[in-house]
Amino acid sequence: MQDEYELAYKIAGEITFSKNPGSVMKKWREIFGISQKELAEALKVSPSTISDYEANRRKNPGIGVVERYINALLQIDKRKGKKTLFQLLAIKPKKFDVIVKEFQNGISATEFAKAIQAKIVANYKLLDERKVYGYTLIDSLKVIFSFKYDDFLKLFGSTPQRALIFTNEISGRSALVAVRLAPVKPTLVVLHKIKNIDKIAIKIAEVEEIPLLTTNLSISEISKKLSY
Question: Is residue 193 within 8 Å of residue 219, measured between CB atoms?
Answer: no
Residue-wise pLDDT tens digits, 40-62: 999 999 999 999 988 888 877 88
Cα distance between residue 175 and residue 48, in whole Å? 43
Q: What would the mean pLDDT of 98-107 be, rounded to a whole number?
A: 84
pLDDT at 97 over 70: no
Task: Please tell me whether residues 144 and 79 are part of one structural domain.
Answer: no
Give the CATH number, domain containing residue 210: 3.40.1390.20
Element (H, E) at 57: none
Task: Please tell me whether residues 62 and 116 are part of one structural domain.
Answer: no
Residues spanned by the domain of 51: 2-89
Q: What would the mean pLDDT of 3-31 be, rounded to a whole number?
A: 83
Task: Please tell me whether residues 38 and 143 are part of one structural domain.
Answer: no
- Which residue, 35, 64, 89, sits at the end of a domain? 89
3-state SS string for the chain: CHHHHHHHHHHHHHHHHCCCHHHHHHHHHHHCCCCHHHHHHHHCCCHHHHHHHHCCCCCCCCHHHHHHHHHHHHHHHHHCCCHHHHHHHHCCCCCCCEEEEEEEEEEEHHHHHHHCCCEEEECHHHHHHCEEEEEEEEEHHHHHHHCCHHHHHHHCCCCCCCEEEEECCCCCHHHHHHHHHCCCCCCEEEEECCCCCCHHHHHHHHHHCCCEEEECCCHHHHHHHCCC
Give the CATH number, domain containing residue 79: 1.10.260.40
Question: Is residue 202 within 8 Å of residue 177, measured between CB atoms?
Answer: no
The pLDDT value given to residue 123 = 92
- Which residue, 57, 89, 121, sits at the end of a domain? 89
pLDDT at 144 over 80: no
Higher model confidence: residue 163 or residue 83? 163
Cα angle at 136 between 33 and 208, to 5 degrees? Answer: 60
Residues across the chain: 228
Task: Please tell me whether residues 72 and 102 are part of one structural domain.
Answer: no
Q: What are phi and psi of 174, to 5 degrees?
A: -65, -40
Task: Please tell me whether residues 112 and 203 are part of one structural domain.
Answer: yes
The pLDDT value given to residue 58 = 80
Q: Residue 2: which pLDDT band, with cuts at 50, 70 and 90?
A: low
pLDDT at 182 over 80: no
- Which residue, 89, 116, 139, sits at the end of a domain? 89
Q: What would the mean pLDDT of 17-45 be, rounded to a whole number?
A: 89
Domain count across the chain: 2
Task: Please tell me whether residues 31 and 103 are part of one structural domain.
Answer: no
Lowest-confidence pick of 1-5, 193-197, 199-203, 208-212: 1-5
Task: Please tell me whether residues 20 and 116 are part of one structural domain.
Answer: no
Task: Please tell me whether residues 26 and 51 are part of one structural domain.
Answer: yes
Q: What would the mean pLDDT of 111-128 be, rounded to a whole number?
A: 93
Task: Please tell me whether residues 154 and 169 are part of one structural domain.
Answer: yes
Q: Which residues have CB under 8 Å from 181's CB, separation 6+?
A: 149, 152
